A and B are shown apart, each in its own frame.
Chain A
Amino acid sequence: MAQYQLLMQIMQLEFAALELNLFLDTHPDCQEALAQYNKIHQELMQCKHAYEQTYGPLCNFGFSPNTGNYWKWVETPWPWEIKY
């Protein structure tokens, strides 16, 4: 279940980033939110990098690497099929 735990961590970080993003859209000079946003961005990038190295790409169109000799995008489970 290591994959699920890492995916959960990515979901949590990304949700925090999204929520701060919406807040910053209407409070663009809030220094506290800006600092939190940048901190979460760093953590999120680290988690995504770790996840993608082991389990395959999260994003399409060049936003994720494809390691190995097979196009993993079409191999890993689709979000609506995962049994959480």
Chain B
Amino acid sequence: MWVYEKKLQIPVRVCGPNPRLASYIITQYGGPEGELGASLRYLNMRYSMPTNKAKGILTDIGTEELAHMEIVATLVHKLLEGASVEQIKAAGWGSHYADHDKALWWENAAGVPWVAAYVSATGDPVADLQENLAAEAKARAVYENLIRLSDDPEATNVLRWLREREVVHFQRFGETLMDIQEYTKQKKYY
């Protein structure tokens, strides 16, 4: 069960229309290291985790990632707000406009659609938690790329905050991995 809260996790501001930046940031909506993949990866993995702690952290981080997807969506939505078709075309995002107008869609920065193959689930808790550590590190790296690409200081603030969350999640997954390794030793799985 999920309950919606009618607020963002943090306030999202932008300096004005900026379709080019929107076309880059969309990758954190539906790209390989984006927030859709992150939330689905963690929420899906809960069912094959052997400990309550691991089920807890996956539920909570998976839920926070849904809130991050909403933040990224808001960024893209606001960066397109007030942008003319001419501006969108000049920014190189006419290809998005052709199919979607200003609607959001799960795609990477090159327009490639989200696929479930971005997410892995092996059923092996150690392998899966290591996948999550890699996912957080890669998402952090992509936010750093976006921060370097950004020419909107307000959007950059939001990207920096999202980057920091990847660092915290990496830490929590690392602790969970250590806990799972202890657990598997006790059970003599190996």
Contact = CB atoms under 8 A, between A and B. Distances in A.
Contacts of B73: 80
Question: Interface residues of A toward B: which range?
Answer: 20 to 34
7 tightest Cβ-Cβ pairs between the two chains A and B: A84-B11, A26-B175, A80-B74, A25-B57, A79-B8, A25-B56, A60-B4
Contact of A25 (B11, B12, B172): B172
Interface string B171-182: 010011001000
Main secondary structure of the interface of A (DSSP, over half): helix
Interface string B157-190: 0000000000011001001100100000000000
A15 B9 contact: yes
A26 B176 contact: yes
Interface residues of B, number: 28
Q: Which of A22, A60, A63 has the most CB atoms of chain B within a 10 A radius of its CB?
A: A22
B89 interface: no
A79 B6 contact: yes
A76 B60 CA distance: 27
Main secondary structure of the interface of B (DSSP, over half): helix
Contacts of B172: 22-23, 25-26
A19 B167 CA distance: 12
Interface in A8-23: 8, 10-11, 14-15, 18-19, 21-23
A59 interface: yes
A76 B4 CA distance: 14
